[in-house]
């Protein structure tokens, strides 16, 4: 991997990290804590008030999905730049 490619690889990784952590913050701190009351008032999701659900279970489910999406994105990036470990 050449130097310019290294730079491109790292920048792409940083972009992924920023996007993943923004979603991480939104589902837990925003949906589950700061705006939980407003979401609760907005309605129900499968029997659960929405804010309550994000705080109790939803954020954890999204966390798991986020990590596996990041794994998939990084494996694709590694292959694209020829640094996929075999």
Partner 1 sequence: MGILGWTWLIVGLSFALYIGIAIWAKAKSTGDFYVAEKSIHPVLNGMATGADWMSAASFISMAGLISFLGRSGSMYLMGWTGGYVLLAVLLAPYLRKYGKFTVPQFVGERYYSNSARIIALLCAIFVSFTYVAGQMRGVGIVFSRFLETSINMGVVAGMALVFFYAVLGGMKGITYTQVAQYCVLIVAYMIPAIFISIMLTGNPIPQLGYGSAVSTGGSGILGVPAGTHLLDVLDGVQKDLGFPAYTKGAKNWLDVFMITFALMVGTAGLPHIIIRFFTVPKIRDARSSAGWALLFIAILYTTAPAIAVFAKTNFIQTINNKPYSQAPQWFKDWEKTKLVAFNDKNGDGIMQYAPGEAKAATSKNEVFVDRDIMVLANPQIARLPNWVVALVAAGGLAAALSTAAGLLLVISAAISHDLMKGVLTPKMTEKQELMWARVAAGFAVLIAGYFGINPPGFVAQVVAFAFGLAASSFFPIIITGIFWRRATKEGAMAGMVTGIVFTAAYIIYFKFMNPAMNTAEHWWWGISPEGIGTIGMLLNFAVLVGVSLVTKEPPKEVQDMVRSLRYPKEAEHPAVVPMAKVGGH
Give the footprint of partner 1 on this chain (CB under 8 A): 1-4, 6-7, 9-11, 13-14, 16-17, 20-21, 24, 28-29, 32-34, 36-37, 40, 46-49, 51-53, 55-57, 59-61, 63-64, 66-68, 70-71, 74-75, 78, 83-85
DSSP string, the chain: --HHHHHHHHHHHHHHHHHHHHHHHIIIIIIIIITHHHHHHH-EETTEEHHHHIIIIIHHHHHHHHHHHHHHHHHHHHHHTT----
In angstroms, give the least distance from the CB of 5 to partner 1.
9
Q: Which is nearer to partner 1, 43 or 85 (CB)?
A: 85
């Amino acid at each position: 991997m050449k130097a310019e490619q290294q730079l491109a690889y790292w920048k792409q990784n940083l972009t992924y990290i920023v996007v993943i952590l923004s979603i991480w913050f939104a589902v837990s701190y925003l949906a589950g804590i700061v705006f939980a009351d407003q979401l609760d008032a907005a309605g129900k999701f499968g029997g659960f008030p929405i804010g309550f659900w994000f705080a109790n279970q939803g954020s954890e489910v999204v966390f798991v999905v986020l990590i596996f999406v990041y794994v998939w994105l990084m494996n694709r990036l590694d292959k694209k730049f020829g640094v996929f470990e075999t």
